[in-house]
Structure 1
Amino acid sequence: MTHQQKTIGVVFIENLADWEYGLLAASAVEWLGARVVALTPDGKPVRSAAGLQVSADRDIDPAENEDLDALALIGSDRWASADAPDVAPLLKRMAGRGGVIGGICGATLPLAKAGLFANVKHTSNDRDWINEHAPGYAGAANYVDTPKAVADGRIVSAAGTAPVTFAASFLRLVFPDQEQVVQQMQSFMAREHA
């Protein structure tokens, strides 16, 4: 039985956190046969916290991303700035068609601001931190104080210190019939912490 290849979009902005996307992106491709595409706000390259340049396959225009099965937003301190890119249209379009959406670290802020936490349990870097940067966001009472990623419905959220559980929780939703593979990947990645 052959499975249709899944396409995962990974959203990067300036000063992206290098450690937050590697496990997810590489595992999706190597372990599960997905296609991963890089999205940036304007389709131009961005620089990571380490100064590495990440090139884009496309921009964040919702119309150009209808082929995506899932969307992972990667953290950056820029998500907390006044000039953070507006990804709400892309997030709302993805949510509206039932796609999986994940945000890690600072990238939990655009999910909060787009209203995606209104009815789901979620986490972030810290309860006070998310309330400071997204005051009065819908669903604040659903915040879960945990060091691991939280998945609820089609939404995954995590602190920047949880790239392994973020990757595993996200991939479980994208590949619900591949639990054994995802569990094997998670165990492999977390072995040094056992």
Structure 2
Amino acid sequence: MITIYVYILDTLADWELGYVTSELNSARFFKKDAQSISLKTVSCSKEPIRTMGGLTIMPDCLIDNMVVNETSALLLPGANTWSDTKHETIIERASEFLSAGAVVGAICGATAALANVGLLDNRPHTSNGSGFLEMVSPCYKGQNFYIDDSSVADNNLITAGSTGGLLWAKQIIEHLSVFQSNTLEAWYKYFSTGKPEHFFALMQTLPSNNEN
């Protein structure tokens, strides 16, 4: 089983997580032999958080309860509150995840938190446009590894800007290998274009539609 930890914090940017959490939790497009997923919200306290969209989320577990290994993943959403020092602990754990070969996905403001501790200094990555990380992270030294794209996958580190949630989800799903490759491509084409032919192509890739 793959355990997906989703870090929650006040002002969490709801839209950035929508594609990836809904697909990983529902498993509606998973391939037959995909590993099962356990999705857990994690926080630095047991207090509920309030998202940017006004939703209240209760954490399933605390940072100390996380298990770090190759069958776990950590998703760090954007938020306006990443500069609060109480979030330093989860960034320390993110470093442990990367060292263990586990997936770390960071989007928008979470990329700044990684940049602050040097985790982006020597790995290809992206964020909210050229110059953003320099502006918000005085310690950032990864300019030579910055790629101007909506989402960038560098092995088990997957970073994205605030508008890159769809491609970010695709790259995370691809790394976890829970979709067939043709399912993932059809899924991405459908949600990125809205064209109905891609929806029908997506349906045809599912295991139940390929059985005689």
Give the TM-score band, short-chain normalised.
0.7 to 0.9
| Residue identity matched to 2:112 | L
Q: How many residues in Structure 1 have an aligned counterpart in Structure 2?
A: 187
* TM-score (normalizing by structure 2): 0.79
1:28 counterpart residue number: 24
Pick one of 94, 112, 117 that aligns with 2:115.
112
Runs of 4+ in 1 over 4 A off after TM superposition: none
**Residue 181 and residue 8 in structure 1: after superposition, are their counterparts in 2 closer, same or farther (change >3 A)?**
farther
Q: Please report how far the alpha carbon of residue 28 of structure 1 lies from its aligned counterpart in structure 2 after TM superposition.
A: 1.2
Provide Cα deviations, 1:4-50, integer angstroms capped at 9, x if missing partner.
Answer: x3221111110000101111011112233422111112233211011
Q: For the Cα contact (< 8 Å) 2:116–2:138, is it kept in 1?
A: no
Question: CA 1:109–1:140 in structure 2 vs 1: closer, same or farther (change >3 Å)?
Answer: same
- 1:106 offset after TM fit, Å? 0.6
Which residue of the partner structure matches residue 58 of structure 1?
61
Q: 1:73 aligns with which of 76, 86, 90?
A: 76
Answer with 128-137 or 92-101: which moved more: 128-137
| Native 8 Å contact 2:173 2:179 kept in 1 | no
Structure 1 equivalent of residue 208 of structure 2: none
| 110-119 vs 123-132, greater mean Cα deviation | 110-119
**Is the 2:44–2:86 contact (alpha carbons within 8 Å) kept by the matching residues of 1?**
no
* SS at 2:61 equivalent: coil
| Correspondence for 1:98 | 101
Q: Report the AA paired with residue 10 of structure 1.
A: V
Max radius of gyration: which structure? 2
Match of 1:45 among 45, 48, 63: 48
What is the TM-score of this pair, normalised by structure 1?
0.86
SS in 1 for 2:159: strand
Aligned residue for 1:19? 15
Deviation readout 1:153-180 (Å, 9 max, x if unpaired): 2111111111100100111112277433
Spell out, residue by residue over 1:53-79, the C-alpha distance to the aligned partner (whole angstroms, 9 max, x if none). Answer: 011111223x53336521110100112
SS in 1 for 2:186: helix
| Preserved CA contact (<8 Å) 1:92 1:114 | no
Take 1:75 and 1:36, find their aligned partners in 2: how far apart are those partners?
18
Post-superposition offset of 1:186: 1.6
Indicate the SS of the match to 1:101: strand
The answer to which of 12-21 and 175-184 deviates more is 175-184
Which consecutive unaligned segments of at least 5 residues does structure 1 have?
none
Residue 128 of structure 2 corresponds to 125
% identity of equivalent residues: 27
Q: What's 1:85 paired with?
A: 87
Answering whether residue 158 of structure 2 is matched by residue 162 of structure 1, we say no
